[in-house]
């Protein structure tokens, strides 16, 4: 019975002798040494740059001001036009409210000539009551209750009828 279990766990010979895996292990010591060296080198470079910038900072002439006070006093407090919106959410809300008011209320445009503004919904109803079509149909484009749409695979070259 030991012979049977011994043979079951032995690796089988590869079917193709030209195809095999690499038998060598990864050199963990060399990779660790490289990582530690890279970390130490990075720390040294950061410390060197810190020291260099500190040296540059102290090399400046303390008697010379960075920006003269006269220039600071003349500097504008507000940037020139065009400026970004200060309160965009409030401004868009106010814009929409004014547009809604314009489209949904009555108002005089020119009282001397008797020109008034009426709500859009009322204007649509008046136009429909008079029998005006929404848009004239060009000759030859009568659709008989269908509309022509490009099919998915046609890239717009051919059209197919779709029910409305």
Whether residue 113 lies inside any domain: the answer is yes
The DSSP letter of residue 112 is: T
Q: Examine residue 82 and say whether the peptide bond preceding it is cis (omega within 30 degrees of 0).
A: yes
| Domain count for the chain | 1
Q: Is residue 128 part of a domain?
A: yes
Instruction: Give percent of the chain with pLDDT exceeding 70.
Output: 63
pLDDT value of residue 155: 63
pTM for this predicted structure: 0.34
Q: What does the pLDDT read at residue 18?
A: 73
Does 1 reside within a domain?
no
Quote the domain boundaries for residue 112.
88-133
Mean pLDDT of 90-100: 94
Residue 100 is assigned to a structural domain of this protein: yes
- The reply to whether 7 falls in a domain is no
Is 81 inside any structural domain? no
Please give the Cα distance from 160 to 142 (Å, whole number): 15
């Amino acid at each position: 019975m030991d012979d049977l279990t011994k043979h079951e766990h032995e690796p089988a010979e590869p079917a193709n002798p030209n195809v095999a895996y690499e038998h060598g292990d990864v050199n963990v010591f060399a990779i660790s040494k490289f990582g530690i060296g890279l970390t130490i080198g990075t720390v040294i470079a950061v410390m060197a740059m810190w020291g260099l910038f500190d040296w540059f900072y102290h090399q400046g002439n303390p008697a010379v001001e960075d920006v003269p006070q006269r220039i600071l006093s003349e500097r504008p407090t507000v940037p020139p036009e065009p400026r970004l919106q200060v309160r965009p959410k409030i401004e868009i809300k106010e814009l929409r409210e004014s547009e809604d008011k314009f489209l949904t209320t009555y108002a005089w445009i020119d009282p001397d000539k008797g020109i008034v503004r009426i709500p859009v919904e009322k204007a649509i109803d008046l136009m429909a009551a008079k029998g005006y079509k929404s848009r004239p149909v060009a000759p030859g484009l009568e659709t008989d209750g269908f509309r022509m749409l490009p099919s998915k695979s046609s890239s717009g070259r051919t059209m197919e009828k779709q029910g409305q």
